Amino acid sequence: MKVSIHSKVEGGRLARNRRTLSNALREYEGKEITITIQRKKKTRSNQQNAYYWGAVLPIVQRAMRDVGHILTQEDCHLMLRAKFLTNLLPLGEDGEFIDQIRSTTELSTVDFLEYLEDIRMWCAEYLGVDIPEPNEQTEIFQ
């Protein structure tokens, strides 16, 4: 079980959800746990998600089809994540690494904008396709 508690720190104490934290700690009585505290970030917005799935991925899918690759939208999503959201993680001290592909659901709004810009630049350079900005008016022909 994973517990996420959102609060504000005021005077060195949680401003809200202290009881939730106490209850969560009781749930783990006698067990080893890890506590991570980090600043809360805004994750990608619903508008960003709608633009990605409703405009970006269909354009990428069509462009990939035009160069001979038949992919579903989900395939395009997985391909773009692997291309632009891969980090190398060390496995140990022997110099071995593994690829970790980040999920778009974990991206902040700023990180998601960077991801979209990477996709737009790649599509323009390698596929010869322009992906309009979310606020640009465009016509899409089937």
Beta strands 9-10 and 86-90: pairing type? unpaired
Residue ranges of alpha helices (H) inside 8-85 are 18-27, 46-51, 57-66, 73-84
Write down the pTM of the prediction: 0.68
User: Interior CA angle at 90 toward 37 and 5, to 5°?
Assistant: 15
Locate the domains of the chain by residue range.
Answer: 1-40, 46-127
Alpha-carbon distance 139 to 137, whole Å? 7
CA 100 remoteness from chain centre: 12
How confident is the model over 81-118, as pLDDT tens digits?
Answer: 999 999 888 877 787 888 889 999 989 999 999 999 99
Q: What confidence tens digit (pLDDT) does each residue in 17-43 have?
A: 788 888 888 888 898 888 877 777 777
